[in-house]
Structure formats: C-alpha cells, structure tokens
Chains A and B, each alone.
Chain A
C-alpha cells in the first residue's frame, strides 16, 4: 500500500491538538513529521508507466503548448473535416501562429522522428486540454498516457495481447474485456478496448488504439515499407474514476483534502 513516508524536521508546527499544552511541545526536541501523499492521478501514472517500463518502454514527455501542425496535421487530422470536431480545441489567442493546448498526448509522435531511429517503444504521460463544457464526466484539463511501438514486425495481434495483459494487470484477471473497431485518423486498423465489471454490467471504453497509419510513419521520416507501428492512448482520470468508483471527475483538480487524503 502506498502509505505516507516519514522523515524531515519541522520546528514550527503550532497546530493545537485537542488538549495538548503548547509549552510541552516547544520545549521538546522532537523528531516530528507529517505524512505526505501523492495525488491519486500521479499514483496511476506512476503505476502505468512502471508497467510499460517493465516490458521495454521508455518514458518521454512533450510540451503542453503545441502547434496545429503537430497536434493535428502530422497525425492526418485535416482542418476541413468533421473529424476535428471530436476534439474541441483551446486555441491560444495569437492569430499568427496557430498554437494550441494539446488535445491529446498523441502529439508526441511529431517529436519523435528527428531525434531517433526505430525500433522504439515509447510511453508518454501528460496533461491535455479539451474545450468543452465541464460536468461530472467531462473536464477541460485531464491526464492521458499514450504509448507506441515501432518495429519491423509488429501487428494487431501484438496490440491485442499488449492491451489485454495491461488491462488485466490493472483491473484484475476477472475483468470482462472486448476489442471493437473504432476510427481514429492516425491509426488503421483502429480499435477500442472495453471493460466490464459484472456479467450484466455495461461495457466501458477505456483505451483507443490501432496500427499506426503508414502516412504518420512517413511523416516521421521512416519508411513505412520497413517500419510499422502500434499505438494506444488512455484517459487516466477516467481509469481512476472506474477503478475507485469515483462519482465526479472534477475532484481530480479541486484538491479537496477529503478526496486527496483517502489515497
């Protein structure tokens, strides 16, 4: 269990306990601590990245401010097609530059090509932004983790196996699991992973994924005849909500101690 950790010195605590006399306190040379904790989203990010590091992935991080080019065009999400509607965007109020707050951690793919050659396995966590109305299941700022594998031989069968192992690791071996086709412009074939708790329960979408689109591989500067890739992405807030049965996604960024101190 991730409990608090102990250590450090703090001479200035003046909190009045129920019936303790301050005098007693100050005179004593004490080795006193407060119990610190991680935010549950961080616990999730650390657990998930550790899992993928264990199967040969390396962690990369990208910037929150992105160009339209990196966030959309590079990933074959054209400006004049309704597929852009799927991700409502925060554009920075700078007419000249088409800068935005990244809508997905998939934007990392644009940063890969120049600096390295395949094969590679990358996992990338980070904060992303959606310009939509906030409610119990929607927030304008959320956390995602994207992953990809580029190699000479990698297939849909590898993708299914990888996601199944991961989801069973996270949610337990008994979790109901299914893979269904879904469309994302940057993967083809595209796929969603759904989980289900009880036999009569609802299927819940938890992961988007697919084989990296050959055009994206080309955009990276690699030869799609030689290199192929698989990619996947998940919403960490959503996974956290499902895992713990949390009622409202907005708790993540409100930081009420009644929320934080439960984890």
Chain B
C-alpha cells in the first residue's frame, strides 16, 4: 500500500524523515518495503484490512508515537433510517449488514481538480471524473469503498440486493461480460443486474457525461462471500481487495460525510438525501486477558497500567477486574483480534519487539530420540561422498514424455495442475533416473561423472525415499555387491530416454530404497559439518572448456595451495577442481599424484582455444617453478 507522507500529515503530526517513518511502520508489523521520495510502500498482511487506508495507517502511527489522531474534515449530514427516494430490498441481511447512501444532484460531470488528480496518481489510481474520483479518494483515505450509480438509470428506483442465479448475465464497467455462478451478491433494479456488489459496477448504471443525479452507496458486506466471488470469477479490484480483508462497519456515515464534503468543494452539487439502513449491528467482542498470560507468553515484566495504556492507544477499551483485563475490540479490528493471544500481540507491538529481553532456552531434560531416516540419509550420503560421488539435488517435476520413455504409465502417476510459468501438465518423478540423466547431459563437458541423489519418488500408491546413483560407463559388476540386478540399469546412447535427452555416453543407474542400504552403512560415522568458505563465482551461459593436469607432489602440499597457484594465473580460469588422487610406488616415498580439472569459463564470451593455449603455457611454467612434476 502506497503511503504519501503529505497525505499522512493531514491526520497526524509527523516530524520524522521518510526512512524514519518507514522504520516506525516496520516496527509495528507493517513493513516499509520501499521509500521513494515522499511515498512509502508498505506491506500490509492479509489480517490487517484496517491498515489499507491512510487514516488506518495514521491510527497506527498515532498509537506508536502516542499522539492524537486528527479527524478528516466533513460536512454535517442527516441520515434517514430509510430512503424516501429508493425502494431498497435486502434479501441477504446476514451478508449485507448495513447499507448507507447519498443521493446527490450535480450540474456537470467533469475532470476533478489538479489536487485530487495528483493525489490519486500518487497512489497509482487513474483519475476519471469528479464523482468516481471522490469514491476512489475516500476509499484510499478512509478504507471504505463507495460505488457511484447514475441514479436515473436505476429503473423504477428499485434496488433488490440478492444472490445471483446460475448463468445470470452482467456487463461490468470495464466492458466485460460475465455469466455468474449462483450465490454471488448482486443488485437488480426492475429487470436487470446493475451492480456486482463490492467488486465492480455494471456498465448500464455507471456515471456518464450526461449524469445529473448520483447515488453513492456504501454496502458493508461479509468478507467471505466477496473472497469466494473473486476466486470464482477471477476478478480483483481495489474495492474487492478491501472487502476480502474486512471493512469497518462503523465507518459508513463518516465516509459518506467525507465524500459529500469533497464533492461539495469540488463541484456545483446539492445533497438530496442521505440514508443509513442498518440490518444487523456490528459484531461485538470482549476478550479476557490475564496478566499471567501476558507475562508467560512474552517473557517480560509489564504492569497492568502499561497494558491498559497500550490497548487504549490502539482504540481498544479495557476494563480491569483484578488481574484480568476485559478488552473490547473496536469495529475495525474485529476480523483480526479474536483470542487473548491476539491482544497479547498488540501489547507486544507497542511495547516494541526490539525491547523484548533475550532469555535463552533452558537445557532440555527431554531424552532425544534420534530420527532414523535423517541419520540414515546422512550415513548413506557420507558413504557415497567418500567413494567420490558428487551429490546433486534435482527437480521433482518431469514431463509425460519422459516418464513414458522409462515405461511408466501416466495413469498410475501423480501429476499437478498446470502452474504459473509452465502450461504443460507436470508429473511427479517416479524415478530420479530421468533427472540424473539430465545432470549428465548438462555437464557433458566435465568428463567422467559420478553423482547421486537421495530424494522422494512418487507413484499414486505412495511416496518413497530412494537413493539414485549415476556413473559413467559400465558399472554393473561393482553395484551388484550392494543391490539386486533389478535395481541396476545401464543406459547407452541408443536407449529412447538417452536419445530424447541427447545423452551420448553410457551411464549406469542404480536406484534403491534408502532403507535397503541401512545394513551397508551401519558402521559409517556421521561427522560434524561446517560451511565451506567460498568466494562464489557466477558461471557463464557458454560451454566451458576443461583441461586436466595431473601433478606429482609431496603429500604435505595442500590441494588448496595447488589450486591457488594455478587459479591465480588468469581470471579466465574459472575453477580448479581437484577430482582425483592416488598413490603409487612409482612416484616415490611420501609422493602422490593429484589431478585437477582446470575449468575455463568467461562471463563475457566463450574462451577460445588459442587463448587457452597461451594461458596453459603459463600454468605449466608456474607449476614447474614450484617443483611439481606434471605426470605423463
């Protein structure tokens, strides 16, 4: 929600800079996401419909800074209990609990003044005319949406508020036609629908250049039914957005008075009638909160007086009976504050989360049950990493074609409904063979690959945690030591899946239940883990080039030293990847061979062979200077 500070200042004294004001709102739970000059963009969470207006935000600011709130200027208006000009029938009093309105005669429909137009533009609303602009202005300012009708378009001056029938037609102001489902609140005049209440008006009754009489109406509607409507029709408007989050029942008359004040100032107009039909009173709620509960939940020492002060500043009223405060919730918070915990949050917000003391948890006396599956995962991954496998984590989603290529039947697999950026139906992977094969294709420049993943695979019957291993070449004999033949699959380049993915090397895949390896890794000890300190480098969109170098070095020489020596030669050396080590009598005592993939990658352009050749000469020189022997 965009908050222009100049508008905020009409309701409260503000003597801070925009960033400071932003911080005050953030500390109240209305996070200032962006401060651009004199406009702050606040994130209003779905429970705070009351904060979707300038006045609502000023109210919060007043509570935080312990100041008085200023009221907006309005005209005095007498409201009739029942309109004498309109025949209003409410068939849904439980959903539409209050309906107020003004009938205004106006000389001319024309553009609004500069001031009103600029104000609207500063919050991203397009100015239209001197009536519609005011409805939008007061919606932003006070939070209650109004709708403007051309009074003379309301046939027979009749308005029936009812639920729609299935397939009823309405053409909205934005020129769209809807066949409504049953159960949506609509207004019918003599014989047609003239409003989609709380969402958008209809074209047939909208304000037009010739309009001479205006009905401004202010319905208070149940938020659940508006939510259902927006979901069913796929419409969202500023008005619907507010209704979904609950509007303030108690603000109806003030909003209309304010609207009339602004129209009166802006245009040559007369107030013909004001009415206020109350069908059901506002929800009332009083919540008992004990001092003990406050202390236990927050872990702070706070007096009953302080508690009373905080809730009062927020517009609640508190009556104290011994150690219990009976807190009455104001109409604008009735949707959000229901339980003692909600009141306690209000207290904490004003107390200041930054002032909550830091009290560590005591040492636990509970005996820790070790989770088998998590420990088992740690052991299996350690076992595989120890054998030189690189862990990967691959996506859950695969395509229908891909599962068919591995002989899975789409009918027995889970799929998800299409998503935001992928219209194709996606299947939940029945096997990680598909996704690990893709890792091979993506990294075909690297050379031989040994990878594994521990993750979930899916069939309609169940979800299974599996281990999937993929390795270049024919590795069946090796894996038969650990898993049955049925769980090993050697896929060569003429396999349908390989052809589809353009996998050009032979790969051995092993996929087995995690549980099946429990016995095998029984004696693996899991160790402490820490995070690698890495100067992360983003890689390019080009295919990298790899050259290998095998060095015979003293075993005391660290791989880090070798890496640094080579990498520091040129920044087009993207990564010096240590991937192979072995000892042999041939190398001499305390000597071993370490092999590195030297990966060339450059964000700006593909690295040319001629360039690599030049750099390689430097690498060879540098390495030899250190006394390291290049093998081969």
Contacts and interface: CB of A to CB of B under 8 A. Distances in A.
Interface of A: 1-8, 10, 12-15, 17-21, 24, 28, 30-44, 46-47, 49-50, 53, 55-61, 63-65, 80-83, 85-86, 88, 90-94, 101, 119-121, 125, 127, 129, 131-134, 140-141, 149, 153-158, 160-162, 164-165, 178-183, 185, 188-192, 211, 213-215, 228, 243-248, 252-263
Contact of B29 (A56, A125, A180, A260): A180
A44 B531 contact: yes
B521 interface: no
Contact of B297 (A211, A248, A256): A211
Given A119-B366, A132-B420, A156-B356, A37 B391 contact: yes
20 contacts: A18-B630, A31-B584, A36-B450, A47-B531, A56-B364, A56-B368, A59-B371, A82-B244, A93-B414, A93-B416, A155-B296, A157-B298, A160-B359, A179-B353, A181-B348, A190-B345, A255-B394, A256-B539, A258-B574, A262-B534
A17 B631 contact: yes
Contact of B381 (A10, A31, A42): A42
B385 A17 contact: no
B29 to A, nearest CB: 3
B342 A188 contact: yes
B599 A258 contact: yes
Interface string B341-364: 110110011000110111111011
Given A2-B532, A131-B419, A155 B297 contact: yes
Contact of A38 (B45, B348, B381): B381
Nearest to A86: B46
B530 A47 contact: yes
| Most chain B CB atoms below 10 A, which of A21, A101, A149, A181 | A181
Given A93-B415, A180-B26, A258 B391 contact: no
A258 B536 contact: no
Given A20-B632, A141-B396, A258-B575, A33 B341 contact: no
B443 A211 contact: no
Nearest to B540: A258
B577 interface: yes
B550 A5 contact: no
Nearest to B246: A81
Contacts of A19: 632
B390 interface: yes
A181 B345 contact: yes
Given A90-B416, A127-B456, A189-B344, A3 B366 contact: no
Contacts of B357: 157, 160
Nearest to B425: A93
Interface of B: 26-29, 31, 45-48, 223-224, 227-228, 231, 244-245, 296-300, 339-342, 344-345, 348-349, 353-354, 356-361, 363-366, 368-371, 373-375, 378, 381-382, 384-397, 414-417, 419-421, 425, 428, 439, 442-443, 446-451, 455-456, 458, 463, 473-475, 528-534, 536-539, 544, 547-550, 559, 574-575, 577-584, 586, 595, 599, 601, 630-632
B594 to A, nearest CB: 9
A20 B631 contact: yes
Contact of B388 (A36, A44, A121): A36
B632 A156 contact: no
B601 A261 contact: no
Contact of A31 (B360, B375, B463, B583): B583
B534 A263 contact: yes
A96 B388 CA distance: 46
A257 B245 contact: no
A2 B381 CA distance: 14
A13 B595 CA distance: 13
Given A2-B529, A189-B349, 16 more contacts: A8-B388, A31-B583, A36-B388, A56-B368, A91-B417, A94-B414, A101-B396, A155-B297, A155-B298, A156-B299, A160-B353, A161-B359, A164-B358, A188-B342, A191-B353, A258-B574
Contacts of B463: 63-65
A28 B375 CA distance: 38
B584 A30 contact: yes
Contacts of A180: 26-27, 29, 31, 353
A8 B580 CA distance: 12
A243 B536 CA distance: 10
Contact of A15 (B45, B371, B389, B548): B548
Nearest to A253: B395
Given A6-B581, A64-B463, A211-B341, A39 B392 contact: yes
B558 to A, nearest CB: 10
A225 B487 CA distance: 52
Contacts of B474: 12
A86 B416 CA distance: 19
Contact of A83 (B47, B345, B559): B47
Contacts of A161: 358-361
Contacts of A132: 419-420
Contacts of B575: 258, 261-262
Contacts of A157: 298-300, 356-359
Instruction: Give the 7 A-B residue pairs with the shortest CB-CB distance, closest first.
Output: A157-B299, A155-B299, A181-B29, A34-B388, A56-B364, A20-B632, A183-B45
A160 B298 contact: no
A83 B439 CA distance: 37
A258 B445 CA distance: 11
B384 to A, nearest CB: 7
Nearest to A39: B391
Nearest to A11: B478
A86 B45 CA distance: 9
A134 B419 CA distance: 10
Contacts of A190: 29, 345
B28 A245 contact: no
A61 B448 contact: no
Given A37-B390, A63-B463, A43 B396 contact: no
A88 B46 contact: no
A107 to B, nearest CB: 13
B388 A35 contact: yes
A162 B579 contact: no
Contacts of A228: 296-297
A61 B373 contact: yes
A58 B632 CA distance: 52
Contacts of B300: 156-157
B450 A158 contact: no
A60 B371 contact: yes
Nearest to A184: B45
| Most chain A CB atoms below 10 A, which of B353, B357, B378 | B353
A179 B354 contact: yes
Given A34-B579, A58-B368, A189-B341, A80 B28 contact: no
B534 A252 contact: no
Contacts of A39: 391-393
| Most chain B CB atoms below 10 A, which of A8, A14, A49, A214 | A8
Contacts of B632: 17-21, 24
Contacts of A10: 388
Contacts of B538: 246-248
A164 B353 CA distance: 13
Contacts of A21: 632
Contacts of B394: 253, 255
Nearest to B49: A82
A244 B358 contact: no
A209 B127 CA distance: 41
Given A2-B529, A36-B385, A244-B536, A188 B344 contact: yes
A58 B389 contact: no
A261 B388 contact: no
A45 B441 CA distance: 27
B393 A42 contact: yes
Contacts of A59: 370-371, 374-375
Given A34-B579, A86-B46, A214-B341, A1 B356 contact: no
Contacts of B298: 155-157, 189
